[in-house]
Each structure stands twice: as C-alpha cells, then as structure tokens.
Structure 1
Amino acid sequence: MFGVSLEIWFVYGLIVLAVFLFVNKRISFDITSLILLAILVVSGILTPREGLSGFSNPATVTIACMFILSEGLRQTGALDIVGDYFFKLSKLNYRLAMFIIMLVIGVISAFINNTAAVAIFIPVLISLSRDLGESASKLLMPMSFAAMFGGVCTLIGTSTNLLVDSIATDNNLAGFTMFEFAPVGLIFFVVGFIYLFTFGINLIPERRKDESLTDTFEMQSYLTDVILQPHSPFVDTPLKNTKLIQDLDLDIVEVFDEDGESKPDRMNIELEANDILRIRGSVKELNKLLNREDVFIKPSKHWEDRDFEIGNAQLVESVVAPESSIEGKQLKDLQLWQKYEALVLAIRQQGELQKDNLQDIRLQSGTSILLYAKKERVNDIKTAEEFVLATEIELPEHESSKITVALGIIAGVVGFAALGILPIVATAICGVILMVLTGCLTNEEAYQSINWKVIFLLGGVLPLGIAMQKTGAAQLMVDVVITQFASLGPTAVLSAFFFMSMMLTNLISNQATAALLAPIAIEAASSIDVNAAPLLVAVTMAASLSFMTPIGYQTNTMIFGPGQYKFTDFVKVGTPLNLLFWIIGTFAIPYFWPF
C-alpha cells in the first residue's frame, strides 16, 4: 500500500472528487468533467493531446450526431404521428395500452435517442390515462423502463454502448456490431415485460389521478377572482401603472369586464369599475390585498381547465428537461413571460406542490411547472431544449415527404453500419448532413438539438479513464477485485462489475459510470487472462439499466414530475428488477460472449 505512487493516489483522489461532485450536483456535471480534465492536464499526468482526446473520440462524435438525427425525426413529425396512431390504438383498456406503449417505445429507443421518444409520449400517455380512467403514473413508469430495455438492444440505442465500444477499440480490442447486444438485450426486454405485467404492476402507485390540470395542481387553494369596486382609486388607470399588487406575491392572470368578457392586453388596458381580476396568490397575500385596496373576492368556485381556455390561451404543464441549462436557476431568472408570454401558476418539485414565492424557487430536473400561455406560443415551449411538454397539444401540419426522408436517413445510418459497409461514426455524420441538406432540419435546429452537457461530460471523463490506465490506478483497482473474486472464477468477476456499474449509475450519470469502469474491466480481463468483451458488456448493460432512482437515468427524471412519483416509488419498483437483471446478466452474458 505504501509502495503506491503519488500519481496513483492523485488519480484516486480525482475519482473520489468526481463521484462526490456528480452525486452532490452543486456543480453541473459538464463543468465537473472540465475541472477533472483541466487538473489532469495541468498536473502533467496527461498531455494536452491526451486530455483533449475525449472530444475527438468517435463515441462523442457519434452521440452528438444521434442527438441531431433524433431531432430530425421529431421536427418532421414522424414521432408525433407514431404517438398519435398508437394513442388511438391503445384506448381499449389499460393492459393493452401498457403493452402497446412499452413495445413501441422499446423499439423506437433501440434506434434513436430515448429521451426524444419519451418526450413525445409523456403528453400522449397523460391524455390516454384520462380516457382510460387510470392514473398516469401507472403508464409513465413502464414507458420509461421500456425505453431503457430497448436502448440496450443495439449499438446506437444508448450512449453508453457507443462509449464502451469506443473504449474497447481504443484499447486494441474488437468493437461491437450494430445488433451484437440484441440477444441479451431482448432477454432483458422480455423479462422486464413479464415483471411489470405480473409483479411490478402491483407496486406502481396511483399517484396522478384521472384529473384536470386545475385539480392536479390544486388551483382552488391559490387562484381567485376579485372585483374592483367603483370607488377604487385604480379605476380608469392602466393596470401596469397601478400599485394594486405592488410588494405582494400576486400575479394577475386575466382581467374580465363585469359581463365576464376577457380584456386583451391586460397590463395596458384601463381598469373599470366592477372589472374582475383573476389573481394567483396565497390566502395570506390576498388578505393583504383586501385590507389595503377597494376590492372584494367573488364566491369561490371549482376551477376547471376550460375556465382558462380564454381567447387563444390555455393551461399547459411543462417539465424541466434532464441536464437542462436552467437546472439550478431561480424561476425569476428565466423570464418566461418575456420569452414565451407564459405565466407560472404553480410548481411541483420533489413531489411537493409549491405555490408561494415561486420566483425564488431553484428549479431541478423533473420539476413540473404549470403555465398559462397563448396557444401560438405553446409550440415554442415544446421545442425549447429546456422543457418537456406534458400536455398534449394540437399537432402542427407536417410534410409527409419529409417524414419519409427522415425515416429513410435513419434506416440508412443503421443499415450501412449494421452491414459493416461503414463505421457508425461515418454513417451518423452522413445522416446529419442529409438531414440538413434535405430540409428535415435547419442548421440552427441541428446545433440546438445537441445536448452539449453530455458532450462535455464525455470530453472530460474519457481522459480520466486514460489517466487511470496510464498511472496504473486501474490495475491497482483490478488487483483488489481479483483478490476478492478471482478464486470464484471469471463469472464472479463479471457479476461484481455488473453490480458495481448497476449501483454507481443510480448515483451518477450512466456515461460517467461506463467511462470509469470500462478501463478497469479491460485491465481485469487482462489480469485473469480472459476475453474482455463479457466484462465490458456487463458494464454497459448495467450502466444503462437504472431503475432504482429517479435520477439514475434521464427518462426516469422526465416522468418524475408529471407522474407525481416519490423517490421511494422507484426504489420499490426498480430494486427487484435491477436485482433480477443482475442475476440474469451474470449468466446470460458469458453464454453469448464466452470468456
């Protein structure tokens, strides 16, 4: 132990720091990755060329391209049409709906970015659950899990598969082919289906009831109509110039005349006697208003969604996207009214409804936001990278020819790579070029579709793997693992790597997990003189199958708010499934990839 070099201790310290920062999340994980990269280069452990190799890595380039290709399918409307078609097909009963949705999302996720597919289906499933009279939470979790099942079936189904494939080739090992993961992936798919349909379905809670948005967000407790008295000093004064709600945590949602007709451009119109102001705020803040101004509250009523379908406005639920640039920011910093003419009415964060001091709330991935917005601006919110829309909206018109082109491009990318004609990075780049040249995407849409946080994460953590191998830190870790498990045979070593990857990915990102463990798995295979492929498959499979927490995988984070889940819901449903996959993976992987 005392003979271990300072460089190795230094790298171990960086690994501990990385895991701490990834779990703590006080610093964005992409910034954490860049910090690691800078330390490795400045300390001299890596050369600048080695330090920057993560950005030129084929996996990083391919993953960036897959973001663009998935966006091409979304922009052309291909995913919308699929969602709409299966929505109609699934309206017969709950179990049929669950089966169809899991099958469809699983197949789609095998070939495109699964977060794009899940984003399309979230509003579809919430609407479908109302038609079926079921809780949306009973459909959203199976959908998220199915997206993970599908993702592990192909090389491009998840970024960790591409990442581990690249790490293998960088170490002069054979890479993986397009459908090489399919045998084990399909076993997980089938077992996952059976588990959710038999045992898991009884564990999934009925959190989100068959309710309107007004009920879901309990609007009765913070929304009311007040009437402006004839002798009020604010009569004949533009609303924006009054001190009606100054220094109060209140928002004017709408202004109506005494006949109940909505007044457009509410902030600039002159208030009149008996005008009705629809106000969002707590009882405490409303009482302050009543005590100081000439207004009185109308008799309370039960709010319904149609009460907010005023003119061209509507209620929509939006979710903070995983790894969004607005994560950690206060609501007031987003300027949603200036950007989208959208007013925030309530927030649901970590399962708790927030209705007071909204502007000071720091947003987290998976947070649900209730917005009141103009219909023509809702699609802008839907296409914004910061949000995932959880309310179904009328689909814009799409050119059917563009849909065919986009699907053809995806088929070409997959087909040429599967046949071994070109490597996946080459077909993906060609696919991106064709998406833009054929008009399926604009240049701007292509750049905006890339999740740059993921790209910088990869750019930073891949060099950490190089440093582990270069300094001998990976080999020392291997010696510890081998000491504990080698006497039990290579299957026990594989099982240990599967378990480590499975647990770590529930705490940090799946990409970071794969980048940290894959180099160690390669060294372990060399030490016990076995084929490295089964150990690498164990690492990538386990890293992509994170069911135990809402933060372990992006799709879980996306459904956390809309499904009104609690953290423990994922623990109860996901833990047995993860343990089941661990046992199956331990024996199935060596069968298809012999040692």
Structure 2
Amino acid sequence: MSSQALITLAIVVVAMGLFASEKLRVDLVALLVLVALVALGIIGPEQALAGFSNEATVTVAAMFALSLGVERSGALEPLIRLLLRIRRPWLLTLALMLVIAPLGAFVKNIALVATFVPLALRVCQRTQTSPARVLMPMAFAAQMGGVCTLVGTSSNLLADTLAQQHGLPGFGVFEFTRLGALLAAVGIVYLMLVGRWLLPRHVEAAMPAEPAEIGKYVTELKIGPNSPLVGHSIADAKLGERYGVYPLELLRGERRMWSPRSQQLAAGDVLLVRGDWEKLEEFRRRAGLENVPGAGHVRGREDGEDPRLLAEAMVAPGSPLEGRRLEEAGLDWRYDAVVLAIHRRGHVLREKLSDTRLAVGDVLLLVIDRQAMPRLRADSGLIVLSEREDRVGTPRRALAALAIMFGVVLVSALHWLPIPIAAIAGAVLMAIAGCYGRKDIYEAIDWKIIVLLGAILPLGIAIEKTGLSQALVDAGMQLVGSHGLLAALFMVYLLTALLTELMGHNPSVVLMVGIAISVAHAAHADPRPFVVAVAFAAATSFATPVGYPTNTMVYYAGGYRFTDFMKVGIPLIALFCALSVWLIPVFWPFHPGG
C-alpha cells in the first residue's frame, strides 16, 4: 500500500470517528476531509470542488424544494384528517406505515416524519398510549419507502451518480421499486407481528392528559416584593412537598448560587426551577412570582383580541437553531414568541435560559401570538407538537403540487429530461403556482446535507486514485475466499450497513460504491448488483438513532433509549440483509445475458 493510500486510510478512519462521535456537525467533518485531501496533495482543486456541481448534489437540493411544496400546499391534509379518526394504537401504527411508505418514495423523509409526528402524539395522548409504540415504526416505514425509487433518498441518487462515474449505466427512477416494495411489505409485517412486542412499554400508562406536560421543564421565576417567599429560605418553603417543583439554582444579580437551599430569599431573586408545566404555573401564581423571559408577554392584549397562546416546539434534526444560545435563536423577532421553559430529555438544565445552547430534541414551551402560529408550523427547524394545521394550503395549490411532483417523476422515468433538470423545473413551477413563498425554498433546503454531499464526494475519488480501494478489496476477497458471489455480496451489504450506523448513510455510500465495484470486478461479475446492495444497506438504517435523521427525530419525541433501536432494528436489518442477498441477483443478475 502506497504512502498516499495510507494517508487516505488515516483520513477515512479519523472521519469515521468524528462522524460517529457527533463532536462536530457532519458538514464540518466533510469540509475538514476535503481540506485535508487537497492540502496533502492527494486530489487537486478541480476534483475537490467537483462534488458541488455533481448531479446528485443538485438533485437532492431540488427534491428538498419539491417535498416542501407537497407539504406546504396542504396536499397531505386529507390523509391527516383521516388518520385523526383512528382510535386504536395498533391500527394507527399500521395506517401510518401504509401511508408513509408510499409517500416516502417521493417526499423527503424528514418532512414526512415532521408532518406526522404531531398527529401521532395527539392520537397517542387521546388513547393513553405511549408514543414509543408508534413513532419508531413510522420512522422505519419512511426509510423503507425512500429506497423504493431513485429519488426517494439522497443515498440512492448518490449511489447512482458514483456508479455512472465508474462507467456503469444509470439506474431508472423505478428500477429499485420491485425489491424495495417487497422489503417494505416484509418490514411492515415484521413490525406489526414481531417488532411491536420488542417496542418499549415503559411509559404506556403515563401519557399526559395535555400536550403541555411533555416532561420536566426548566424555567426562571422572579420573586416579587409581595411574594410569601420573601424572607424565607428555600428549605423552609418546601417547594417540592408543597408545589411539586424543584429548585436548581438561585440567581441574585450577577451571582449564581448552586446550593441555594439555605439562602434567604429576597425580592428580585430569580429561581431556576424544574417541574411539569402545570405545577410550575401553579407555583408561580400561588407564590407571587413572574416569568423572567418576557413576563409581560404571557398575557393577551388589553383589548382582549388576538390572545396569545402556549405552544410546544421541538428542535428538529438539522435545525439551524442547533448549537445556538436561546437569545441568538431569534424567536422573539421572527415570531414575537417568548420561550418560557425548556425540556431536555435525559438532562437537567442548570443554566439561565438565555445562555442555554439548544440541542436536537429540546422541547421549547412558547408564548406566541396566534397569528404567528402558521409561520412557526412552517419552520422546518422546529416541529410543533400539536395538530398541524397549515392554513396556507388550498385545494388548488394541493392539486398543483401533486400534479407537478407526478410530472417530475414521469418526465424523469421516461428520460425526457435528466433528473436534476426535471427536479429544478418542478421546483420552479411549484414556486410559480404558489405552493410555497419566495423565501421558503431557500429555508427548506437542508444546506448541511448539500455541503456534506459536495464535500464528501471527493473522498471517493481519493480512495480510488490512491489504490486504497483495491487494497481493501484484496483483503475482503481473502476473507470471502472460495465461498462465491453470494458471500461477496453479503460482505458488501453487511459492511455498508455497519458503516451507515456509525457514520451516516451518505458517507457510507461514498466509501463503499467504489469498493463494491472493485469487488465485482475481482469476482468477474456485473458491478450493478453490488451497487444496489450498497444503496439498500445505506438507505435502511434501523439499529441506532443516529444512522438516519428520521431515527434521530423520533428518538427524542418518543422517549426511546438507545438500546430500543437495537432490539427492534438489528433483527430487521438481518432480515433485510438475507432477503436482499437472495433477491438482488434475481433482479440484477451477476452475469446478465450469460
């Protein structure tokens, strides 16, 4: 192995570690890889920038816009209204999977899950059922649907583009559908008959009566001059026994007292307290306290019109709010909203709310103007944990969005236009038809994913150019030995699945497509079955909450543990692996025409 191959291997190992650790955002890791490859002379500037003009990168950006148009136009509202009538949790789980899997073939997975999570939570609340029984199957169904078409997920597009760069013919829009539909049907049956018994039941009897009681919130309350707490210590006040709230910290001016139980309280002190929202609100009223974050905003207008309301919003995966302090989030000027409290699963916040850096899964309790609610629901960085009611959508826009999406798929399938051009044209037509606003299209595109794709693609070039791909293939073929083509296909599928759980679906595709093609050449077989194995293994990540964004989203909303995904997901991955290794050579023969 050459020195450049060893350096590239070291870069790959470091990148995998950074992807898995989540210490840095995935797009920053990809940019660091890109800079390292150029700085060390492994690739040139033109090769480094080629990923940003790649067809897959452009198509994914356009598909973000198309998905937004379908969602924002109200095209999904009839389905949502129908699902709201369901009363039985098992039937809701089945119905959601049967609806989301076909939609996932054409609509962005994250947009789908973000749309249906509030609906699922509402039905679970009404039927006193744990959301954990519903949300994981829903996220898995979105992935199963996404793999059914070439445009259903970015990893499919990426695999197709990389295969074409290696001289292979491109895949058709519906070429994956036969295998994808079979796997989706088997996956849904597994989740209904086996997976439902592996799903957690630990909060089934503890569903709140109101959406506002999503968990233990942390908020700041200021002691007024007439409060009965003035002159008493926190220990004497017995806040836990009397009110069911728990003090975390006392703020007195610029001083922060971490052990405040013995401190005598004075007017102007700020208590950082934790508890369910109803108990916090009762404590505020009875003890004569004020909400520190904009106390005057909690009440409606003096004329009684346009009252403000409480809303809960969860920070979504990929949200631009992630990592920002609350005071930098801009919720006050964007939505005239005030954050009263924050709930972070698995952690007790001990910082002032204004200094708290937001994380994916944080639930914000907001006081917001009723007129600003449609704009809050339209924010892709936040998921409103209540029934989504998109008032902008109209039947005309909904029909236009569906017709345009159908047209994009048809034109691409018939090869009248290349997929990127058809997708861009569809996004423009949706804008003209009013399916979304002028600025919405730029807000809808997850630029983190676009940068990730553009920056990580040159890594595949480096792996091929330095001979690292061939060295890894030689080592893999020695392991396979004389066990044949099915064993080689199994190795490619399993390795891709493992890398996907560690570093995400797009980086694993970049790493594995070249290796898969080299394995096929070494085994004297057609490379297309091996590329398909990479695409399917990367697009169906079930074993961890970090392998795919939809898993991350329901991980926080459903209150899952990391091991819950392993219990349900690992058998499902094994089932998909066995079926794929058996069926891929049936649909894509190792020796076509032989």
TM-score normalized by structure 2?
A: 0.84
How far apart, in 2, do the equivalents of 1:163 and 1:339 lie? 35
Matched, 1:123 2:118: yes
Counterpart among 469, 483, 491 of residue 486 in structure 2: 491
Of 398, 414, 418, 2:413 maps to: 418
Unaligned runs of 5+ in 2: 232-242, 251-259, 286-297, 301-306
Q: Tell me the distance in 1 between the aligned counterparts of 2:391 and 2:281.
A: 22
Residue 42 of structure 1 is matched in structure 2 by 39
Of 547, 550, 561, 1:555 maps to 550
The one-character-per-residue Cα deviations of 1:522-548 (angstroms, maximum 9, x if unpaired) are: 111112111111111111111111111
- Which of 473, 478, 490 is the aligned partner of 2:473? 478
Distance of 2:106 and 2:506 partners within structure 1 = 18
Instruction: Rate the CA distance shift 1:546–1:349 in 2: closer, same or farther, 3 A.
Output: farther
Residue in structure 2 matching 1:537, options 532, 536, 547: 532
Whether contact under 8 Å (1:321, 1:366) holds in the other structure is: yes
8 Å Cα contact 1:319/1:558 also seen in 2: no
Check if 1:466 corresponds to 2:461. yes
Amino acid of the residue matched to residue 533 of structure 2? A
- 2:24 corresponds in structure 1 to 27
Q: Would the alpha carbon gap of residues 231 and 409 (structure 1) be closer, same or farther in structure 2, given more than 3 Å must change? A: closer
Aligned to 1:282: 247
Farther off after superposition, 158-167 or 327-336: 327-336
The equivalences for 1:82-121 within 5 A come to 82-88=79-85, 91-121=86-116
Cα pair 1:502 1:546 within 8 Å, conserved = yes
- Which residue identity is paired with 1:303? E
- 1:576 matched residue in structure 2: 571
Deviation at 1:337, TM superposition (A): 3.3
CA separation of 1:544/1:295 partners in 2, compared to 1, >3 Å: closer, same or farther? closer
> Which amino acid is the alignment partner of residue 381 of structure 2?
E
Of residues 258, 267, 282 in structure 2, which corresponds to 1:293? 267
Whether the 8 Å contact between 1:350 and 1:566 is mirrored in structure 2 is no
- The residue type paired with residue 509 of structure 2 is A
Inter-CA distance 127–289: structure 2 relative to 1 (3 Å threshold):
farther
Superimposed CA distance per residue, residues 183-212 of structure 1 (whole angstroms, 9 cap, x where no aligned partner): 221121111111111111111113374312
C-alpha displacement of 1:331: 3.2
Q: Secondary structure at the match of 2:150?
A: coil
Q: Deviations over 1:391-425 (max 9, x none)?
A: 22544142221111111100000111122322222
Distance 1:553 1:495 in 2: 22
* Match of residue 234 from structure 2: none
1:318–1:370 contact (8 Å) kept in structure 2:
yes
- Check whether the contact 1:124–1:392 (CA below 8 A) recurs between aligned residues: yes
Query: 2:428 is aligned with what amino acid?
Result: I
Deviation at 1:487, TM superposition (A): 1.5
Distance 1:404 1:305 in 2: 46
Q: Does 1:53 find its partner at 2:50? A: yes
Contact 1:11 1:473 in 2 (8 A): yes
CA-based RMSD: 3.1
* Distance in 1 between residues matched to 2:270 and 2:488, nearest whole Å: 72
| Deviation for aligned residue 1:314 | 2.9
Report how far residue 345 of structure 1 moved: 4.0
- Tell whether the 8 Å contact from 1:351 to 1:565 is kept in structure 2 after alignment: no
Aligned residue in 1 for 2:256: none
Whole-angstrom distance in 2 between the partners of 1:232 and 1:288: 13
**Which one is further off, 502-511 or 336-345?**
336-345
Q: Is the 8 A contact 1:232 1:295 kept in 2?
A: no
> Does 1:566 find its partner at 2:561?
yes
Which residue pairs with 1:388 in the alignment? Answer: 383
SS at match of 1:487: coil
Provide the identity percentage. Answer: 35
Residues 68 and 397 of structure 1: is their aligned pair in 2 closer, same or farther, counting only changes over 3 Å?
A: closer
Task: Note the 1:185-224 alignment, pairs <5 A.
Answer: 185-206=180-201, 207=203, 209-211=206-208, 212-218=210-216
Q: Does the alignment pair 1:502 with 2:467?
A: no
Give the Å deviation of 1:575.
1.5
Cα distance in structure 1, aligned partners of 2:281 and 2:375: 22
CA contact (8 A) 1:351 1:561 kept: no
Could you tell me whether the CA contact under 8 Å between 1:465 and 1:515 is conserved in 2?
Answer: yes
Q: How many residues align?
A: 544
What secondary structure, in the 3-state scheme, does the structure 2 residue paired with 1:488 have? coil
Paired residues of 2:199 and 2:568 also in contact (CA < 8 A): yes
Asked if the contact 2:87/2:123 (under 8 Å) is kept, the reply is: no
Q: State the match for 1:268 in structure 2.
A: none
Give TM-score, length-normalised by structure 1.
0.84
Distance in structure 2 (CA, Å) of the matches to 1:195 and 1:365:
29
Q: For residue 207 of structure 2, what is the amino acid of its counterpart?
A: D
